[in-house]
Amino acid sequence: MAWIVKPSATMKTPGRAEPYLTADHRAQYERDILPRYADRQGALLPILHDIQHRHHCIPWQAMREVAEFLGIAPSEVLDVVSFYEEFTTEDHRRGKYTIGICQSIACEVCGHPALLDHLRARLGIEPHETTDDGRFTLLAMECLGACEGAPCALINEDRHDNLTIERLDALLDRLP
C-alpha cells in the first residue's frame, strides 16, 4: 500500500562505512542479472530480492547503492521497495522467521482466524509486527495459491497446508 506513507525526500537515513553491494555482488549482478534486461532498471526486483533475503530488509544505504549501481534515482528504489509487500525498509526488518498466515477467503471459511489468534497470543504480537528478540515476524497474508490445503501458511519459504493449532505449534517448536 505504497500510497499511505512515504518518508519525505529530505529525510536523513542511517548508513554504515562498509558497503552493502560489494565488488563481488556487483560483478555477479553484471554477469547474471543485467544481461537479461533491455535496461538496467529491469534488474531492480531481482537485486532487491537478493538484498532482502540477505538482510531481512532493504537498508537505506543499500537503496542508495543500488540506485547508483543501476543509474536510477534513490527515490525510484524506495518507490519500489515501499510498493511490494515482500520488501521492507530497515525500520520494519523481518524476523528470523516470517510466519505468514493466509487470511483470504478459502482459508477464512476453513478456519484461519483461530490460527491467527493463537499466534497473536503465543508470540505476543499483532500481524505485521516482529517479536522483540527479532525471532518471529507475524504476517496476515492474502491467498497463497494453495486453497486446496486451507488453512495454510508460509514459514519463510516453506508452505504448510491443512494447519491446526497443534500442527502450527509443533512446526514452531521445531524451528532451530
Partner 1 sequence: MPVTEPVLTRRIPTAPWGDPRDRRIIGYDEYVRTGGYETLRRALTMDPSSLVQTVKESELRGRGGAGFPCGLKWTFLPPPDGNRRYLAINCDEAEPGTFKDRLLCDYDPHLVLEGIAITCWACRLDTAYFFIRGEYHHQAKIVERAIREAYEKGVFGGRGLMQACDFKVDCHMHRGAGAYICGEETGLLEAVEGRRGWPRLKPPFPAVKGLFGRPTIVNNVETLAAVVPIVDRGAAWWKSMGTASSIGAPGSYGPKLMGVSGHVNRPGVYECDLGIPLRKLVDEFAGGMRAGRRFKGAIAGGVSMGILGPDQFDAEMDFDIGRRYDVMGLGTACPTIFDDQTDMVAVARNISRFFSNESCGQCTPCREGAQWMYRLLCRIEEGDATTKDLDLLNELAGSMGIIPGTTICGLADGHNWAVRTILNKYWAEFAGRVKPSYHGLTVSAGRADGVSSARIVGATGA
Site string for partner 1, 53-92 (x = CB under 8 A): -----------------x-----x--xx--xxxxx-----
- Interaction between residue 48 and partner 1 (CB under 8 A): yes
Three-class secondary structure assignment of 125-146? CCCCEECCCCCEEEEEECCCCC
Three cell numbers written together for 76: 525510484
Pick from 99, 116, 106: nearest CA to 145: 106
Round to whole Å and give the CA distance between 132 and 119.
Answer: 15
- Interaction between residue 57 and ligand FES (CB under 6 A): no
From 13, 25, 26, 41, residue interacting with partner 1 (rule: CB under 8 A): 41
Number of shown-chain residues binding partner 1 (CB under 8 A): 46
- Using CB distances below 5 to 8 A depending on partner kind, what does residue 79 bind out of partner 1, ligand FES, none? partner 1
On the CB side of 140, how many CA atoms lie within 13 Å of its CA?
Answer: 17
3-state secondary structure of 172: helix
In this chain, which stretch among 16-24, 34-42, 123-131, 164-172 interacts with partner 1, using CB under 8 A?
34-42
From 37, 73, 135, 169, residue interacting with partner 1 (rule: CB under 8 A): 37
Contact assessment for residue 119 and residue 80, using Cβ atoms and an 8 Å cutoff:
no
- Interaction between residue 107 and ligand FES (CB under 6 A): yes
Q: Which residues are near ligand FES by CB under 6 A?
A: 102, 104-107, 143-144, 146-147, 150, 152
